[in-house]
C-alpha cells in the first residue's frame, strides 16, 4: 500500500521526524527543505528514504543534535564554517549570505564547510547559487567507496561535483551534477531496500568482482565512471572538499549509513563566480549559443533535463510513499 503526499506533506513529515529525533527546529527545517527538493526532482534515493537514516544518526550521535555552526571570514572572499558535527545544510545556510555577498563584491568567493555531514543533492546548492545570479561550482566528498585504478582498497568516496549557470531571471539555465562513481551509492541503498538488482557496471563485491546484487555491492566498492578518469575526478573533489576544508579524508570518515563510528566529519567546498565581473553581457549570449548547439540536435538532452521534467510532473501529481517507508520514518520498521 502507498499514499500520495504533496511536497508540503513531504517537508512537514521530514521536519517533524527530525525534531522528534533531537534536531533543532532550524536544522530540521534546512534538511527538510533538501528532502522536499529531492522528492520534487524524482531523486528518491536522497529524499524521504534518507529521513530514517538522519533520525538514526541524530539518536546515536553521528550527527550532533545541539550543533551550532561557527562562521569565520579569514579573507574578504573566503568564508569558512565549522558545522560542529551537525548537518551540513544549516552550516551552509549559516555562511550563505557572507559567501554570496563576497562573490558580488570580489567577483569570486569560496565557502568552506568542515566537520559536517551529507549535504543531500549537491546540484541543489549549485542551483541555489544560480538563482542568486552566480555561477556555482560545488564539491562534496563521502566515506571511501572507490578504490584507485589497479587497487582494491577504497580511498575516495563517490565524490560528486556540480555546476550551475544563472539564467538572468532568478533561475538556473543549466545544472550539471555528477559523481565520480557510475551511480550514486544511495541508489544502491534504495535498490537494496526494495530487493532489486543493480545494473552491471555499478559496483564490485567484497572480493573485487563485478556484481548486480545490491547487498553485495554495499559490502564492496563502487566502480568509477570512466575508469581511471572517473577516479581522477573523484581525487580532484577529494582535494577541494576534504583536504582544503580540513575535513576528514574519505578513508577516515565513518559511513553515511548505519550507526557504526562517530561523526563522519566530512566537508564541502563551494565556489561562486559573478559573471558580470568577467564577461558582462557576453557570458549570457555565449551560454545561449552553447545551449542552442545542444538543444537543436534531435534526441539530445541538456544535463539535468530529466530532473526538470520530473519537477514539473511531481509538482502536479505529488509523491508516492509506500507504507514500509513510512513505517521506517516513524521508527516502526526495520
- Is residue 46 domain-shared with residue 148, that is, in the same domain? no
The catalytic residue among 186, 187, 254, 257 is 187
> 2-5 and 172-178: which strand pairing?
unpaired
Condensed to tens digits (0 to 9), the pLDDT of residues 214-243 reads 999 888 888 888 788 889 999 999 999 999
- Is residue 151 domain-shared with residue 236, that is, in the same domain? yes
- Is residue 167 domain-shared with residue 228, that is, in the same domain? yes
- Is residue 291 domain-shared with residue 310, that is, in the same domain? no
Asked whether the CA dihedral 258, 260, 265, 266 is positive or negative, the reply is: negative
- Is residue 42 domain-shared with residue 150, that is, in the same domain? no
- Is residue 173 domain-shared with residue 289, that is, in the same domain? yes
Average pLDDT estimate for 173-194: 86
Whether 211 is in a domain gets the answer: no
Average pLDDT estimate for 230-259: 95
What integer pLDDT is reported at residue 333 of this predicted model? Answer: 56
Share of the chain above pLDDT 70, in %: 99
- Is residue 173 domain-shared with residue 264, that is, in the same domain? yes
- Is residue 174 domain-shared with residue 142, that is, in the same domain? yes
What integer pLDDT is reported at residue 151 of this predicted model? Answer: 76
Known catalytic membership, residue 296: no
Number of structural domains (the chain) is 2
- Is residue 167 domain-shared with residue 238, that is, in the same domain? yes
- Is residue 7 domain-shared with residue 83, that is, in the same domain? no
Structural domain for 259, as ranges: 73-181+224-302
Whether 192 is in a domain gets the answer: no
The catalytic residue among 45, 112, 145, 225 is 45
Model confidence band, residue 147 (pLDDT cutoffs 50, 70, 90)? confident
Known catalytic membership, residue 57: no
Q: Which three cell numbers mark 15?
A: 521536519
CATH number at residue 291: 3.30.1370.60
Burial class (CB in 10 A: 0-12, 13-18, 19+), 33: middle
Known catalytic membership, residue 20: no
Whether 118 is in a domain gets the answer: yes
- Are 137 and 150 contacting, i.e. CB atoms less than 8 angstroms apart? no
CATH number at residue 16: 1.10.1530.10
Neighbouring C-beta atoms of residue 267, cutoff 10 Å: 31
Q: Which three cell numbers mark 253?
A: 570518515
Whether 199 is in a domain gets the answer: no
Single out the residue of 34, 20, 187, 51 nearest to residue 121, CA to CA.
34
Cα distance between residue 94 and residue 115, in whole Å: 14
- Is residue 94 domain-shared with residue 50, that is, in the same domain? no
E strands along the chain, which residues?
2-5, 70-75, 78-82, 108-116, 135-140, 161-166, 172-178, 203-204, 210-211, 221-222, 266-273, 319-322
End-to-end Cα, the chain, rounded Å: 17
What integer pLDDT is reported at residue 71 of this predicted model? Answer: 98
Q: Where are the alpha helices (DSSP H) in 199-240?
A: 214-218, 228-238
Report CA-CA distances (Å) from 34 to 116, 249, 255, 306: 15, 24, 20, 18
- Is residue 108 domain-shared with residue 170, that is, in the same domain? yes
- Are 213 and 204 contacting, i.e. CB atoms less than 8 angstroms apart? no
What integer pLDDT is reported at residue 288 of this predicted model? Answer: 95
- 334 has a pLDDT exceeding 90: no
Buried b (16+ CB within 10 A) or exposed e, 113-137: bbbbbbbbbbbbbbbbbbbbbbbbb
Whether 246 is in a domain gets the answer: yes
What integer pLDDT is reported at residue 187 of this predicted model? Answer: 82
Whether 95 is in a domain gets the answer: yes
The catalytic residue among 30, 39, 46, 179 is 46
Condensed to tens digits (0 to 9), the pLDDT of residues 24-56 reads 999 999 999 999 999 999 999 899 999 999 999
Model confidence band, residue 149 (pLDDT cutoffs 50, 70, 90)? confident
Average pLDDT estimate for 74-81: 98
Condensed to tens digits (0 to 9), the pLDDT of residues 308-327 reads 999 999 999 999 999 999 99
Cα distance between residue 126 and residue 97, in whole Å: 15
- 152 has a pLDDT exceeding 80: no
Amino acid at each position: 500500500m502507498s499514499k500520495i503526499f504533496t511536497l508540503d506533506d513531504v517537508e512537514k513529515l521530514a521536519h517533524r521526524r527530525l525534531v522528534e529525533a533531537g534536531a533543532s527546529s532550524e536544522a530540521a527545517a534546512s534538511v527538510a527543505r533538501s528532502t522536499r527538493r529531492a522528492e520534487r526532482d524524482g531523486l528518491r534515493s536522497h529524499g524521504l528514504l534518507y529521513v530514517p537514516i538522519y533520525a538514526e544518526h541524530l539518536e546515536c550521535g553521528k550527527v550532533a543534535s545541539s550543533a551550532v555552526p561557527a562562521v569565520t571570514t579569514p579573507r574578504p572572499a573566503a568564508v569558512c564554517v565549522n558545522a560542529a558535527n551537525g548537518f551540513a545544510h544549516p552550516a551552509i545556510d549559516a555562511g550563505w549570505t557572507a559567501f554570496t555577498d563576497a562573490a558580488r563584491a570580489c567577483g569570486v568567493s569560496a565557502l568552506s564547510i568542515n566537520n559536517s555531514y551529507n549535504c543531500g543533492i549537491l546540484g541543489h546548492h549549485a542551483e541555489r547559487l544560480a538563482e542568486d545570479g552566480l555561477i556555482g561550482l560545488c564539491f562534496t566528498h563521502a566515506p571511501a567507496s572507490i578504490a584507485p585504478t589497479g587497487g582494491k582498497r577504497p580511498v575516495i568516496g563517490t565524490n560528486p561535483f556540480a555546476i550551475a549557470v544563472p539564467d538572468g531571471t532568478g533561475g538556473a539555465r543549466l545544472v550539471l551534477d555528477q559523481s565520480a562513481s557510475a551511480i550514486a551509492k544511495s541508489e544502491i541503498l534504495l535498490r537494496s531496500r526494495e530487493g532489486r538488482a543493480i545494473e552491471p557496471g555499478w559496483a564490485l563485491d567484497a572480493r573485487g568482482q563485478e556484481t548486480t546484487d545490491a547487498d553485495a555491492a554495499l559490502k564492496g566498492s563502487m566502480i568509477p565512471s570512466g575508469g581511471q578518469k572517473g577516479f581522477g575526478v573523484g581525487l580532484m573533489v577529494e582535494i577541494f572538499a576534504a583536504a582544503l576544508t580540513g575535513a576528514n579524508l574519505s578513508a577516515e570518515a565513518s559511513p553515511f549509513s548505519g550507526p557504526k563510528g562517530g561523526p563522519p566529519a566530512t566537508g564541502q567546498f563551494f565556489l561562486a563566480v559573478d559573471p558580470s565581473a568577467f564577461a558582462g553581457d557576453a557570458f549570457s549570449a555565449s551560454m545561449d549559443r552553447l545551449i542552442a548547439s545542444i538543444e537543436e540536435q534531435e534526441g539530445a538532452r541538456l544535463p539535468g533535463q530529466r530532473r526538470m521534467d520530473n519537477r514539473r510532473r511531481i509538482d502536479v501529481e505529488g509523491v508516492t510513499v509506500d507504507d514500509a517507508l513510512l513505517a521506517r520514518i516513524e521508527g516502526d520498521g526495520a
